[in-house]
Amino acid sequence: MTTNTLDELTDQFINYLVVEKGLSRNTVAAYSKDLILYVESLRENGISDIADADMTLVLKHLIDLRDAGLGPRSRARHLVTLRGFYRFLVHEKILETNPAQVVDMPKAGRKLPDILKIEEVARLLEAPHASKPLGMRDAAMLELLYAAGLRVSELIKVGIANINLEACFVLVLGKGSKERVVPIGQVARKKIDAYLGSGRPVLLKGRPSPYLFVTRSAVPMTRQGFWKLLKQYALRAGISHKITPHTIRHSFATHLLERGADLRSVQVMLGHVDISTTQIYTHVAQERLKAVHTQYHPRG
């Protein structure tokens, strides 16, 4: 537990930049401005001791800056400031680790997809008419996409053998043929169960298929086919702005983080495997993931 206040630590860092690093007045002013915003964010989240600020709060701060209209370059500068601040605290033995170091740098020139509000997601997921086989399939697909934060390429590849409705898990084949197990909530379980019982058999008409989601021709759903369905249901749900399957995936992660889930569990569920930033997340137990999903997912 540290004994320095947040303001004292900020002053120590700024003094270090001036005296030891010899940075210009404008550069120091920019660092100071960034840190003031971060300290305000910590206090708004009930943090008074820097040791209690983890990666989740760093990421949440960057998300808040994005939502306030800051572009990728400005957010990247903020992250550089936070990395330098935490690096200083580690060097001074005030902290043992740098929680900002494992947060990805915002990419300039690549706009993040819009985030749907929870109520918009709810309208979207209820848009299919689930009284008919195709509607049952579409309802189950949309629900699973949001329940597990899947990529569209992962969604269409889910096989019958990959779903465990009793344990509420789905085995996902991600990028680079990496497998991961992701929990799903009770709402997704019920919709998939309804589709398996009354929708999928009608679509298959006795024809075999290892894939969970199939068309009337008993072939797997395609990426293009699902994109068209998503656009159709977004309009039916009254969502006027453009959304993509990745919008749902990003909403999944953001909603979990905003509701208090830890960043490690969310990154495991998303299947991020970059060795430099997420290797430490690959050993989280499945039961821990299921508990996090149940507690924090809006439809868990």
208-234 pLDDT per residue, tens: 999 999 999 999 999 999 999 999 999
Out of 86-90, 143-147, 181-185, 249-253, least confident range: 249-253
- Does 108 fall in a domain? no
Residues 6+ apart with CB under 8 A from 26: none
Domain boundary among 76, 91, 106: 91
Backbone torsions φ then ψ of 285, nearest 5 degrees? -65, 150
Mean pLDDT score across all residues of the chain: 85
- Does 113 fall in a domain? no
Annotated catalytic residue, options 175, 207, 223, 242: 175
249 a catalytic residue? yes
- Does 23 fall in a domain? yes
Whole-number pLDDT of residue 112: 46
Work out the pLDDT band at 278, boundaries 50, 70, 90.
very low
- Does 105 fall in a domain? no
- Does 1 fall in a domain? no
Own/partner pairs for 160-166, CB < 8 Å, 24+ apart? 160/210, 160/211, 160/212, 161/210, 162/212, 163/192, 163/212, 165/189, 165/192, 165/193
30-74-267-177 Cα dihedral, nearest 10 degrees: -130
Higher-confidence position of 260 and 282 = 260
The reply to whether 177 and 45 lie within a common domain is no
47 torsion bin: left (phi>0), alpha (psi -120 to 50), beta (else): beta
Average the pLDDT over 177-186 and give the result: 90
264 a catalytic residue? no
222-227-230-234 Cα dihedral, nearest 10 degrees: -170
Annotated catalytic residue, options 281, 290, 296, 297: 281
The reply to whether 82 and 206 lie within a common domain is no
The reply to whether 131 and 191 lie within a common domain is yes
- Does 53 fall in a domain? yes
Query: Which tokens is 214 given?
Result: 């199939």
Expressed as residue numbers, the domain containing 52 is 6-91
Inter-axis angle of helices 118-125 and 133-148, nearest 10: 150
Inter-axis angle of helices 55-67 and 245-258, nearest 10: 120
Q: Which amino acid is at 116?
A: L
Q: How many domains does the chain have?
A: 2
104 torsion bin: left (phi>0), alpha (psi -120 to 50), beta (else): beta
Rounded percentage of the chain residues whose pLDDT exceeds 90:
50
Work out the pLDDT band at 192, boundaries 50, 70, 90.
very high
30-66 pLDDT per residue, tens: 899 999 999 999 999 888 899 888 888 888 888 888 8
User: How many residues belong to the chain?
Assistant: 300
DSSP 8-state class, residue 283: T
87 a catalytic residue? no
Query: Which tokens is 201 given?
Result: 């058999």
- Does 103 fall in a domain? no
Segments in the chain forming alpha helices (H): 6-19, 25-44, 55-67, 72-91, 118-125, 133-148, 152-155, 186-194, 200-204, 223-236, 245-258, 263-270, 275-278, 286-296
Q: Which candidate, 149, 145, 50, places its Cα nearest to that of 92?
A: 50
Instruction: Say which CATH number the domain at 11 has.
Output: 1.10.150.130
Whole-number pLDDT of residue 279: 32
- Per DSSP, the three-state class of 163 is strand
Higher-confidence position of 280 and 210 = 210
Q: Which amino acid is at 272?
A: H
Average the pLDDT over 72-79 and give the result: 86
Instruction: Say which CATH number the domain at 266 has.
Output: 1.10.443.10
Annotated catalytic residue, options 83, 87, 236, 272: 272
DSSP 8-state class, residue 111: P
The reply to whether 156 and 249 lie within a common domain is yes
38 a catalytic residue? no
* CB atoms inside a 10 Å sphere around CB 58: 25
The reply to whether 127 and 275 lie within a common domain is yes
**First CA to last CA distance, the chain:** 35
Annotated catalytic residue, options 75, 151, 200, 299: 151
- Does 229 fall in a domain? yes
2-22 pLDDT per residue, tens: 457 889 999 999 999 988 888
Work out the pLDDT band at 147, boundaries 50, 70, 90.
very high
The reply to whether 126 and 43 lie within a common domain is no
Q: Which amino acid is at 75?
A: R
82-140 pLDDT per residue, tens: 999 999 999 999 998 888 887 766 655 444 456 788 999 999 999 999 999 999 999 99
The reply to whether 131 and 267 lie within a common domain is yes
78 a catalytic residue? no
Annotated catalytic residue, options 60, 75, 180, 249: 249
Whole-number pLDDT of residue 260: 75
Whole-number pLDDT of residue 107: 59
Whole-number pLDDT of residue 253: 82
Q: Is the pLDDT of residue 261 over 80?
A: no
The reply to whether 84 and 142 lie within a common domain is no
